[in-house]
Amino acid sequence: MTETAARIKEVRDGMRILWDVTITMDDGLPLAADVFLPEEPGRYPVLLSYGPYAKGLPFQVGYPTAWESLSGDHPDVAAGSSCAYQNWEVVDPEKWVPHGYAIVRVDSRGCGRSPGYIDHFSARETKDFVACVEWAADQPWSTGKVGTSGVSYFGMNQWQVAAERPRGLAAVCIWEGASDFYRDASHHGGILSTFWEHWYDKQIKVVQYGLGDRGPVNPITGLNVCGDETLSEEELAANRCDFGTVIRSHPLLDDWHGERSGVLENIEVPLLSAGNWGGSGLHLRGNVEGFLRAGSAQKWLEMHGLEHWTTYYTDYGRQIQLAFFDHFLKGVDNGWDRRPPVSLLVRSPGEAYEERAASAWPLPETAWRRLELDPDLLQFVEQNDAEPGSVEFSGGREVTFRLPATDADREITGPVSAKLFVSTDSDDADVFLTVRLFDPGGKEVTFAGAVDPNAPISMGWLRLSHRELDESASTPWRPIHSHSRTLPVEAGEVYEVDVEVWPTCIVVPAGYTLAVTIGGRDYENPELEDAVTMSNFKNAMKGCGPFLHDDPVDRPQRRDAARVRVHCGGDHRSSVLLPLQER
């Protein structure tokens, strides 16, 4: 059996480790990978990840605030591991190698120890990822069966690579990964998210290949995390796209965005899609849409809560992944194929969760309830028979409609949508919807979001000029907008618009009040006294996390100041559609 060439080979902590293995791409570019194997020689199924966060950068060093909360609040994450090999958003080898898996981590083109030009989620990256899967399938320590695994970026690009059907790919586990780069990630309802520009500065430029001696050092190997070359700032800039500027130059859903979204219908491999109730702004929608649209005959959806970096590493999440991969990579008859297609952790205030299984999404037992907006009472009503009226909001002023409290628990689980009749005094307007919860004393109840520790229940967005629906894909509970062109907006004209609110889950206890706030800018928790800051994000966490819509070009002052009127009753029955569940 021929051993794979590597920069450093060693046996430590119960693993054979091959540091800095070279995987050569079709254009001759060498990508760098680390391989973790069981000590006993043999052939093992492979779990592979490909991404930009630098395989040699420890989780604790690159993301210290996230690591502190993860390891401090969830001791099971560190139990049984030295944590020396923990990396951001990929599996811990010490938790997987003992179960008979080979772990492969690849630095994507231009990042970590892989040279090249950085162009995120591009066709070139997808081609590289495909080549890495096929390389792993051919190695002498591999059974030929490869699974892909990872969170966020390491999940998003799995939709793309799975659609290419590389040889050897046997199963994919996509944990909190967007599947539609436009609708899920770069533009919400047609409104530019500034997340990516800030993310690029804080999480990519700091691990770009060529930082060399100016970058961090792998504490285990002593190798430079970002390559042995030390390039100038000018050379580094020439080796990467200006991601924020490029996104801003593509305001509509065009071929550039299409290239960065997997053709979900082409996916055939067994699929586990895991989403986070607190993921509004990046991943939640994509995990649901990916599950619904993937062509796989064998596919499962799991939905959980807590932070973006938590559940993947806890015993709960790891045991789910292990059962999935054991079945499809090892052929273990563990009952996975008889598992219901949908499993949920139903969320209640106080971060309480109850496991539930279902046969489909949306849940088949959903009792859809359309409630109209009463502008006088500022409440939801079964039918607004009062005289037609309206309410007004602007960037700095919002309006909140409440569902009257009851003496019984009420559960909302599924997609939410709003049908609004709106007019504006401007040439365009942005509509922001926030689903919120208030306790019997009127205090807002927030939740641990995927990133923000004080997040509301869910959110939705729509730019008025992007109101055109994709009629072939839309349903009443899931309006999908085409975003292929902008429609004119005339001051004073009333327009019927459908707003997609991202899927959610909340048990509203007796005496609590569910509410929807309609406004003209991002939600901020009004009762928050000390906003949390994190090492890997620029802005303080005020309710929306880093998923803000504050670009001065995309949202000029006149847009933020636009006065918008929501018309109710009569011929303009503005309403919200809620997915109620029996308790």
Q: Which residue has the tokens 């800051």?
A: 533
Question: Mean pLDDT in the chain?
Answer: 96
Please write the tens of the pLDDT for every residue from 301-311.
999 999 999 99
Kind and range of the H or E run holding 558: helix 557-560
The one-letter code for the residue type at 81 is S
Domains 8-339 and 367-581 share a fold: no
38 upstream amide cis, omega within 30 of 0: no
Give domain limits for the chain. 8-339, 367-581
Which stretches of 178-270 are assigned E, i.e. beta strand? 187-188, 191-192
Give the per-residue pLDDT at 364.
97
State mean pLDDT over 170-184: 98
Higher pLDDT, 539 or 108: 108
How far is it, in rounded angstroms, from Cα 445 to Cα 306? 15
In angstroms, the first-to-last Cα distance of the chain is: 59
Distance CA 367, CA 582 (A): 8
Q: Full-prediction pTM beyond 0.85?
A: yes
Instruction: Say if CB 138 and CB 112 are below 8 A apart.
Output: no
What's residue 239's pLDDT? 98
Question: Which residues, 6+ apart, have CB-to-CB distance to 153 below 8 Å?
Answer: 51, 52, 53, 89, 177
Is it the case that residue 337 has pLDDT exceeding 80?
yes
The answer to whether residues 306 and 264 touch, using CB atoms and an 8 Å cutoff, is: no
For the segment 162-181, the average pLDDT, to the nearest whole number, is 98
Q: Please name the residue that has the structure tokens 């986070």.
A: 276
Following CA atoms 263, 268, 274, 280 in sequence, which dihedral angle do they give, to the nearest 10 degrees? 10
Exposure letters 166-175 (e unless 16+ CB within 10 A, then b): bebbbbbbbb
252-291 pLDDT, tens digit per residue, is 999 999 999 989 999 999 999 999 999 999 999 999 999 9
DSSP 289-341: HHHHH---SSEEEEEE-S-TTTTTTSHHHHHHHHHHHHHHHH---SSGGGS-S
Average pLDDT over residues 191-206: 96
Whole-number Å distance between alpha carbons of 541 and 308 = 14
- Of residues 538 and 554, the one with the higher pLDDT is 554
Residue closest to 149 by CA, chosen among 47, 218, 81, 235: 47
Q: Is the pLDDT of residue 1 over 50?
A: no
| Confidence at residue 3, expressed as pLDDT on a 0 to 100 scale | 57
- For 173, the enclosing helix (H) or strand (E) is strand 169-175
Alpha helical stretches, state H, 92-202: 93-96, 123-138, 153-163, 195-199
* pLDDT tens track for 6-28: 888 999 999 999 999 999 999 99
Residues 578 and 414: their CA atoms lie apart, in Å, by: 8
Kindly give the pairing relationship between strand 44-51 and strand 142-151: parallel
pLDDT (0 to 100) of residue 533: 85
DSSP state of 466: G
On the question of pLDDT at 433 being above 60, the answer is yes
pLDDT digits (tens, 9 = 90+) for 477-494: 999 999 999 999 999 999
Residue 385: the pLDDT is: 80
Residues 6+ positions from 302 with CB-CB distance below 8 Å: 272, 273, 274, 275, 320, 342, 343, 344
Please check whether residue 105 is in contact with residue 34, taking contact to mean a CB–CB distance below 8 angstroms. Answer: yes
For 367-581, CATH number out of 3.90.120.10, 3.40.50.1470, 2.60.120.260, 3.30.9.100 equals 2.60.120.260
Cβ atoms of 396 and 487 within 8 Å: the answer is no
State the CB neighbour count (10 A cutoff) for residue 67.
Answer: 21
What tens digit of pLDDT does each residue of 394-428 get?
Answer: 977 999 999 999 999 999 999 999 999 999 999 99
Architecture of domain 8-339: 3-Layer(aba) Sandwich (3.40)
What backbone phi and psi angles, to 5 degrees, belong to 256? -60, -45
